[in-house]
Amino acid sequence: MNIYLASDHAGFELKNHLSEYIKTLGFTVADKGPFSLDPNDDYPDYIRLVAEEILKNPDSSRGIVIGGSGQGEAIAANRFKGVRAAVYYGGPDEIVKLSREHNNSNVLSLGARFLSNDEAEKAAKIWLETDFSGEERHIRRLAKLDQLDD
């Protein structure tokens, strides 16, 4: 599984940290930027790159995007039909698990200003290791989401 990472300036340090951590879990990691800290960068420029990669190989790739809250990054990713970004910036771990089991999220958006490195690692690990349930009711609902774009 290929994992694509991107951030803005607020998520830059956490992105670099998670890149190394995710490799220890046995995943292939591709960093889509930014590659240097720029407080004036614009997250849509980098989130687009992750979304485009996910859509090229939806069965063998996922993305993790990181910003201050993760909200803008998720909004940007969700503009792409077929991308389902879930936001996590703390709270019960079950939220991250359900985003995979029920919603088949293929992008996890993390809020760096609200998570420690350990919390972000835990969320990423749960999300990466949780499969979509494949239950008919969830498949039906995801198909309806895709129809909203038509």
Q: What is the pLDDT of residues 72-124, one digit of tens each?
A: 999 999 999 999 999 999 999 999 999 999 999 999 999 999 999 999 999 99
Q: What is the dihedral of CA 88, 15, 30, 59, to 10 degrees?
A: 0
Residue 29 CA to residue 140 CA, distance in Å, equals 31
Q: Residue 5 contacts by C-beta under 8 Å, 6 or more apart in sequence?
A: 15, 18, 19, 22, 29, 30, 31, 32, 50, 63, 64, 65, 66
Q: Which of 73, 94, 135, 136 is catalytic?
A: 73
Question: Is 29 strand, coil or helix?
Answer: strand
Q: Is the pLDDT of residue 141 over 90?
A: yes
Class of domain 2-148: alpha beta
What phi and psi values does residue 111 have, to the nearest 5 degrees?
A: -95, 100
Which pLDDT value is given to residue 150? 67
The catalytic position among 102, 119, 121, 135 is: 102
Structure tokens at 108: 């996890």
Residue 73: active-site member: yes
Q: How confident is the model at residue 34 (pLDDT cuts 50, 70, 90)?
A: very high
Q: Is 102 a catalytic residue?
A: yes
Residue boundaries of the structural domains of the chain: 2-148
pTM value surpassing 0.85: yes
